[in-house]
Amino acid sequence: MNKLFKPYDWDPAYQNSLDIDGYLIIPGLLMDPVREQLTDSLDKIQAMLSTESEHSPNHYAAEYDPYLASLIAHPEMLELVSAVLGEPFRFDHCVSLNRLPGNCGVQWHSHEYGEGESNLGFLRIFFYINGFEVGDGGLKVVPGSHLFRDAKIAAASDGELENGWLVGKRHPKTGAPLLIEEVSATEGSVVLMWTHAAHAVSPRKRLSETRWTVVYAYRNPGLPSNARWISKEFELSGIPEARHLMHLY
Ligand SMILES: [Fe+2]
Give 107 Cα–ligand 1 centroid separation in angstroms: 9
CA dihedral 196, 31, 131, 238 (to 10 degrees): -50
Ligand 1 centroid distance, CA of 79 (Å): 24
Q: How far, in Å, is the centroid of ligand 1 from the Cα of 197?
A: 9
What separation in Å is there between the alpha carbon of 206 and the centre of ligand 1? 22
pLDDT per residue as tens digits for the range 60-94: 999 999 999 999 999 999 999 999 999 999 999 99
Query: Residue 238: what pLDDT?
Result: 84
Closest CA to 208 of 95, 128, 131: 131
- Is the model's pLDDT at 227 over the cut of 90? yes
Backbone φ and ψ for 33, nearest 5 degrees, come out as -60, -30
111 C-alpha to ligand 1 centroid (Å): 7
Gap from CA of 234 to ligand 1 centroid (Å): 23
Q: How far apart are CA 130 and CA 209, in angstroms?
A: 9
Tell me the average pLDDT of the chain.
96
The pLDDT of 125-137, averaged and rounded, is: 98
Q: Domain 13-246 falls in which CATH fold?
A: Jelly Rolls (2.60.120)
Which pLDDT value is given to residue 52? 76
What whole-number distance in Å separates Cα of residue 36 and Cα of residue 40? 6
- The domains of the chain are located at 13-246
Closest CA relative to residue 93, chosen from 206, 219, 181: 219
Predicted structure pTM score:
0.97
**What is the Å distance from ligand 1's center to 1 Cα?**
30
Q: Is the pLDDT of residue 1 over 80?
A: no
pLDDT(23) > 80: yes
Tell me, in angstroms, the distance from the centre of ligand 1 to residue 137's CA.
Answer: 13
